[in-house]
Amino acid sequence: MHTHSSPGIPIKMVFVGHRTNKKEWLAILSTDTTLTVEEIIEIYGIRWDIEVFFKCTKSLLRLQKVFQGRSYDMLISHTTIVFSRYILLAWQHRQSTDDRTLGNRFLMLCDEVSELDWAVASSQLVELVSDVCKKANNRLSKLISRQLQQWVDGLPSHIKAYLPILACES
């Protein structure tokens, strides 16, 4: 729904119903009328997570109440400790309740996918440099070939297995 606020600023209103209780709903206002309904809801969700984070650190982890120091370094240290506690508690909660992680199987799959992406990117990079080497003059071709070979020689063997065989002729 598009409307204007009292000073004449255009706003977009989005009404979101509660998933389980049909009588409850939430109204979200946005001054960026170019955003889609989905984008407005996504941004609100991110902002709400930040609000929950600050509420937890202030009330449950006593960000403001426990600290008695007056120096800037002490304040930064205390805030870092409180935020670190929150991160550990959030991680522990996610590990025990979030089915998306599926324990170590999820992490192993992510590692495998990231290695595959890395392997493809590395292979493409070596092929690109080899193609440049083939098109360069003899002196430049030898220099590029030597540098590329030195780089590959310095890589661990399990990474070398993903790379194509180097052949650089001039």
Q: What is the mean pLDDT of residues 123-146?
A: 79
Residue in the block written with tokens 């999820």: 106
pLDDT band at 170 (very low <50, low <70, confident <90, very high): very low
Give CA–CA dist 28/43, Å, rounded: 10
- Nearby residues of 27 by Cβ (< 8 Å), 6 or more positions away: 13, 14, 15, 16
Taking the model in full, what pTM does it have? 0.42
Q: What is the mean pLDDT of residues 53-77?
A: 81
Confidence (pLDDT) at 39: 92
Q: What is the pLDDT of residues 14-41, one digit of tens each?
A: 998 888 888 889 888 888 889 999 999 9
As given in the structure block, the two tokens for residue 8 are: 């004449």
Q: Is 26 in a helix, a strand, or coil?
A: strand
